[in-house]
Amino acid sequence: MKQPMNGGPGGKRPMGPPRKMNFGTLKRVIKLLFSYYPVLMPLTLLCIIFSAGVSAIPAIFQQQIIADIEIWYKTGDWEAASKVIIPKVLILVGIYVIAIIAITLQTQLMAYITQGFLNKLRCAMFEKMQNLPIKYFDTHKHGDIMSHYTNDIDTIRQLISQALPSVLQTSIIVVVVMCIMLSFSFWMTLIVLLGVVLMFTVSKTIGGGSAKYFVRQQKALGKTEGFVQEMMNGQKVVKVFCHEEKCKADFDTINDQLFEDSFRANAYANCLGPIVMNIGNILYVVIATVGGILLLSNVPNLSFRTLLAGGFGILTIDIVIPFLNMTKQFTSNVNQFSQQINHVAMALAGAERIFEMMDTEKEEDKGYVTLVNCTVDENGNIHESDTHTGTWAWKHPHTADGSVTYTLLRGHVVLDDVDFGYTEDKTVLHNITLYAEPGQKVAFVGATGAGKTTITNLINRFYDIADGKIRYDGININKIKKSDLRRSLGLVLQETNLFTGTVMDNIRYGNLGATDEECIKAALLAGADDFIRRLPEGYNTVLSGNGANLSQGQRQLISIARAAVADPPVMILDEATSSIDTRTEAIVSKGMDALMHGRTVFVIAHRLSTVRNSDVIMVLDHGHIIERGSHDDLIAQKGKYYQLYTGAFELE
């Protein structure tokens, strides 16, 4: 966000095609502004109106003073003249002083409000984002989500700090000046208005051409970015195949196209300024000449003033000269207004995108069964406890009679004839039925897209299905509060996703209350302790950029430790060891075994050696479980699993 560079060729959304103004969005932005700053906003508004009004007035005073000089200079009597002129100048000074105070107050307030508003908006967006369902993130590109925080917020910044105040200011000035003009002469005002219409037409035509090429430039820029991205990624392949020259030639073709479009877009935009400005100049001349002719031909003048006086007046030099100055002020403000209104339209498109995200339905959670610490007495009765006991139970309040029952957390998961599709027209899971007893290891094997990850998505309720199909310790998982459900499920994914922070912080993410010792113990269990201690700062080594300074395998070990410290009764390992080479895996496997001991574990693995010792292996194909059983059973069946295992079949 480089502030002064607005709408350059590199800006993600420069002078796009003229958009339709969405007043609903505008209203919402303004409403939000006032609700965040109920006192300061009206105050700022007042300042804007005042300073706008004030900047329209001095022209009149100036003209009067000059007119006075004209009368007095022939007398050469400053003493007498000053009695008339000085008070007027003093009024002018007074207005100026107030104007400067107003503008200072306005700009300071604006700076404060703009940043404060953006901050509140950002936090509201982030908060909303945390509450969105996983589906949102699976169906929106990350880059698009990010651009709400960067580009769209930036356009709103411009909207609030520049475009809106300026639109307000210029429209006030235009109205004030227009009134003054009308009070001078109707005829001449008419000419000015005709000129303004001409200005609008020209700028619309040229602006349209410019917009067309800016869209093309944007496309060419996207193409360039895509090509560069691909080539920079494959730079090593390019080297190995000595493909440098060919690469350069391809790039030049794309580069030339970008040049053409960028050139035309900017050429149009650059010409617009001088053209509009000089139409203003010509209009001035036309007014002057017409004024001169009207003066000489003694055309009766019609204006508010003459109407008040009851009819026509005479057009005099005192009317024509101030009018000329007002013409300038009028055209330049109309100009500014038309430019800023374009910005407003653009910013509203950004605001609309933000609101779209804010209006997305949040993750629904009607669960009321919660996870509590408990103690079990000798009779097997469960008692809720406030302190950490190491034993957990589901607290299940019954709405019917107001009673509360407790179920011990054991990790018993049942799927009963589950069908599921991410979209209505495409079912990805068919009739999935499975039982996982506490402490069992259940493995899923199958090609990419067979539905392995989908099953785990359903267990931790990243996606919801119809009631009663999945039960956890006998409880319908739709009744369990999502955060409590997930707290009882440890998740290790192939994509490790570490956070910026120390290694220790990253492990502790699994259980914010864990002590350093507990974190280290978890790392030991995961087999991560050894390499962590060899990092420059050990556990205090700061990871950045998703742990870019670690190997993929090391990152996986840390994420295993992270799940271990949470100490959940159920674990989901989704390709958790895919990037650890077989030799290291053999070393880690002891830790993994210790980690899995006594827990219900769902394992998804590409490598069959990882799943071999599972209690049950499910072979999935296109959403169906086609084979199930232990390793030995499946080998004996000589089915798909056997083929996979003997290498006669290729996964992925």
Partner 1 sequence: MIKKLAGSIREFKLPTIITILFMVGEVVIECLIPFITANLVNRIKAGDDIKNVIVTGVILVIMAILSLTCGGVAGYTSAKASAGFARNLRHDIFSRIQTYSFTNIDKFSTSSLVTRLTTDISNTQMAYMMVIRTAVRSPLMFIFAIIMAFIMGGSLAMTFVVVVPVLVFGLLMISRHAMPAFRRVFKKYDKLNESIEENVRAMRVVKGFSREDHEKEKFSRAADDICGDFTKAERIVAFNTPIMQFCMYFNMVFVLIVGSKLTIEHMGQVIDIGQISAMLTYGMQILMSLMMVSMIYVMLTMSSESMKRICQVLDEVPTLHNPENPVTSVADGSVSFTDVDFKYFEKAERNALDNININIKSGMTVGIIGGTGVGKSSLVQLILRLYDVSAGSIKVGGVDVRDYDIETLRSSVAMVLQKNLLFSGTIKENLRWGNENATDEEIIEACKLAQAHDFIKTFPEGYDTYIEQGGTNVSGGQKQRLCIARALLKKPKILILDDSTSAVDTKTDALIRRGFKEYIPETTKIIIAQRISSVEDADLIIVMDGGRITHSGTHEELLKSSDIYSEIHQQQTKGGDEE
| Ranges within 528-557 binding partner 1 (CB under 8 A) | 545-546, 551, 553
State the nearest-atom distance from the C-beta of 341 to partner 1, in Å. 21
Phi-psi region of 447 (alpha: psi -120 to 50; beta: other; left: phi over 0): beta
State the nearest-atom distance from the C-beta of 153 to partner 1, in Å. 10
* Angle, vertex CA 135, rays to CA 132 and CA 141, nearest 5: 95
- CA-nearest of 559, 555, 566, 556 to 518 is 566
Residue among 41, 43, 91, 493 that touches partner 1 (CB under 8 A): 493
State the nearest-atom distance from the C-beta of 230 to partner 1, in Å. 5
State the nearest-atom distance from the C-beta of 2 to partner 1, in Å. 5
State the nearest-atom distance from the C-beta of 401 to partner 1, in Å. 30
Q: What residues between 366 and 395 interact with partner 1 by CB under 8 A?
A: none
Residue among 253, 403, 423, 448 that touches partner 1 (CB under 8 A): 448
Residue among 31, 96, 542, 597 that touches partner 1 (CB under 8 A): 96
Residue among 32, 118, 299, 307 that touches partner 1 (CB under 8 A): 118
Stretch that binds partner 1, among 223-231, 300-308, 398-406, 426-434 (CB under 8 A): 223-231
Q: What residues between 236 and 255 interact with partner 1 by CB under 8 A?
A: 236-248, 251-252, 255
Residue among 205, 483, 540, 549 that touches partner 1 (CB under 8 A): 483
Is residue 249 helix, strand or coil? helix
Return the beta strands (E) in 463-595 as ranges.
Answer: 470-472, 475-476, 489-492, 501-502, 542-543, 570-574
φ, ψ of residue 412 in degrees (nearest 5):
-105, 115
State the nearest-atom distance from the C-beta of 419 to partner 1, in Å. 23
Q: What residues between 182 and 221 interact with partner 1 by CB under 8 A?
A: 221
Residue among 27, 31, 131, 383 that touches partner 1 (CB under 8 A): 131
Whole-angstrom CA distances from 637 to 627, 630, 642 are 9, 11, 7
| Gap between the Cα atoms of 643 and 648, Å rounded | 5
Binding flag, residue 137, partner 1 (CB under 8 A)? yes
Q: What residues between 35 and 64 interact with partner 1 by CB under 8 A?
A: 58, 62
| Gap between the Cα atoms of 223 and 110, Å rounded | 39
Binding flag, residue 434, partner 1 (CB under 8 A)? no
Bridge pairing between strands 542-543 and 501-502: antiparallel
Bridge partners of 408, per DSSP, are: 393
Binding flag, residue 593, partner 1 (CB under 8 A)? no
Residue among 339, 584, 600, 610 that touches partner 1 (CB under 8 A): 584
Q: What residues between 144 and 173 interact with partner 1 by CB under 8 A?
A: 145-146, 149-150, 161
Sequential DSSP letters for 256-311: HHHHHHHHHHHHHHHHHHHHHHHHHHHHHHHHHHHHHHHHHHTPEE--HHHHHHTS
φ, ψ of residue 573 in degrees (nearest 5):
-110, 105
Is residue 504 helix, strand or coil? helix
Question: Given the complex with partner 1, which of 260 and 467 has the nearer CB atom?
Answer: 260
| Gap between the Cα atoms of 254 and 373, Å rounded | 63
> Given strand 382-385, what is the order of strands in its sheet?
382-385, 370-376, 392-397, 404-408
Binding flag, residue 428, partner 1 (CB under 8 A)? no
Bridge partners of 374, per DSSP, are: 384
State the nearest-atom distance from the C-beta of 535 to partner 1, in Å. 14
Stretch that binds partner 1, among 176-184, 187-195, 307-315, 575-583 (CB under 8 A): 575-583
State the nearest-atom distance from the C-beta of 202 to partner 1, in Å. 11
Residue among 469, 486, 628, 640 that touches partner 1 (CB under 8 A): 486
Q: What residues between 280 and 319 interact with partner 1 by CB under 8 A?
A: 281-282, 284-286, 288-289, 291-293, 295-296, 317
CB atoms within 10 A of CB 425: 5
Question: Given the complex with partner 1, which of 76 and 380 has the nearer CB atom?
Answer: 76
State the nearest-atom distance from the C-beta of 625 to partner 1, in Å. 22
What tokens does 214 get?
């800016």
Question: Given the complex with partner 1, which of 435 and 499 has the nearer CB atom?
Answer: 499
Bridge pairing between strands 470-472 and 501-502: unpaired
Binding flag, residue 513, partner 1 (CB under 8 A)? no
Identity at 489, one-letter amino acid code:
L
Q: What residues between 341 and 370 interact with partner 1 by CB under 8 A?
A: none
CB atoms within 10 A of CB 298: 9
Binding flag, residue 134, partner 1 (CB under 8 A)? yes
Residue among 170, 262, 327, 454 that touches partner 1 (CB under 8 A): 262
Stretch that binds partner 1, among 375-383, 405-413, 578-586, 620-628 (CB under 8 A): 578-586
State the nearest-atom distance from the C-beta of 263 to partner 1, in Å. 4
State the nearest-atom distance from the C-beta of 247 to partner 1, in Å. 6
CB 102 within 8 A of CB 54: yes
Q: What residues between 1 and 20 interact with partner 1 by CB under 8 A?
A: 1-5, 8-11
Question: How many residues belong to the site for partner 1 (CB under 8 A)?
Answer: 165
Return the beta strands (E) in 483-623 as ranges.
Answer: 489-492, 501-502, 542-543, 570-574, 600-604, 616-621
Q: What is the largest CA-CA distance in the chain?
A: 123
| Gap between the Cα atoms of 305 and 186, Å rounded | 10
φ, ψ of residue 444 in degrees (nearest 5):
-115, 130
